[in-house]
Amino acid sequence: MLNKNIIINKLHEALEPLPYIYALWLEGADAVGTADEYSDIDIWVDFEDEYEEKAYEAVENVLTELSAIDYKYVMRHDHPKIRQRIYHLAGTSKYLMIDFCWQLHSRPKEEYVYYENDSIEAVKVVFDKDNIISHKPLDLSEFEKWNQSRFEEAKYCRMQHIRVEKYVHRGQYLEAYAYYNRYVLEPLIVLLRLIYTPAYANYYLIHISQHIPVSERNRLEYFTQIGSLDDIAEKMPQAGQWFDELFEKFDEKSD
């Protein structure tokens, strides 16, 4: 069966000789070493700005040589220098989506410097003809102001559990569930992120099972298992107590 190694090797072979393509690298599970049979492929290419259409064509020619593209989605990316498309090839695992990002060569390099020895966001270079990929030491002081703002918002949410309670009393499950997520779960997740992944405090639940201790993961899972108003009423005060414990832990860590 056509697999990711074959796809990556064929892209390497076809794209590296092209003068308008400067680099090809992998992110995601393949870069951090956690890939399994359910992982997709996160691929990046850096190309000369005026060759945008040729870069798309070159990539899609490689893919169609391997197999028919049976799914393609062109994403609207917020960044003006990044283009993104999602592909799937016929005959491959249904999980093997190809998340392909193109980066214009004029994108400022300081925007995508990677941290040294980072286990959360890493890069695996396939080829790099112009020193596109660079690394720097992780300096947590860069995140202090932004993380403090998230911390203050989490404290505000902790004080707003009453918003959840009123919908429990009204017997309105949908509203209570929505507010439970916003004012009970989210601040717990924010504090866990601030404590264990301060450089990625905005990652919410993305791969959080890999980023926090098993004991914390199990406890968080308990608070996500909500099926009724009674569950919300029972777990909300317990969640508040855990928030206070995490609050103290974060406060001690910040001193």
Whether residue 169 sits in one domain with residue 124: no
Boundary of a domain, candidates 79, 102, 136? 136
Instruction: Write out pLDDT tens, residues 131-175.
Output: 999 999 999 999 999 999 999 999 999 999 999 999 999 999 999
Judgement on whether residues 201 and 117 belong to the same structural domain of the protein: no
Decide: residue 111, CB within 10 A, 0-12 exposed, 13-18 middle, 19+ buried.
exposed
Alpha-carbon distance of 227 to 229, in angstroms, equals: 7
C-alpha dihedral over 242, 138, 80, 40, to 10 degrees?
-70
Same domain membership, residue 210 and residue 120: no
Contacts of residue 124, Cβ cutoff 8 Å, sequence gap at least 6: 25, 26, 27, 30, 31
pTM higher than 0.85 for the full model?
yes
Residue 209 near residue 189 (C-beta atoms within 8 A): no
Q: Which domain holds residue 55?
A: 4-136
Q: What is the pLDDT of residues 81-139, one digit of tens each?
A: 999 999 999 999 999 999 999 999 999 988 899 999 998 999 999 999 999 999 999 99
- Verify that 15 and 78 share a domain, yes or no: yes
For residues 119 and 152, state if they share a domain: no
Show contacts of 108-117: CB within 8 Å, 24+ apart.
109/134, 115/199
- Classify the C-alpha dihedral 211-213-214-217 as positive or negative: negative
Domain CATH for 105 = 3.30.460.10
Kindly state whether residues 9 and 64 are assigned to the same domain.
yes
The verdict on 109 and 147 lying in the same domain is: no
Residue among 121, 66, 71, 120 at smallest CA distance from 100: 71
